[in-house]
Amino acid sequence: MNAANAWRKSSYSTNDSNCVEVATSTAGTVGIRDTKDREGGHLAVPVSAWAAFLNSAARTS
């Protein structure tokens, strides 16, 4: 992910930084990183995989 990507975290996150941040790219991927270690790298997954994860999480909550 480059600087043009806007990293964001959930509105449900608390101020203690125990969350992940996500950013979308023009390459059709979603970047996922640890808020506590923003310089530690990120995981990039296809948008379809991220959508499937969110759909599954919504069904189990």
Q: What is the pLDDT of residues 14-51, one digit of tens each?
A: 776 678 899 988 888 999 998 888 888 899 999 999 99
- Given strand 20-24, what is the order of strands in its sheet? 8-9, 20-24, 29-34, 43-46
How far, in Å, are 7, 16, 22, 38, 51 from residue 56 at the CA level? Answer: 22, 26, 17, 26, 9
- Residues constituting the chain: 61
pLDDT reported for residue 5: 67
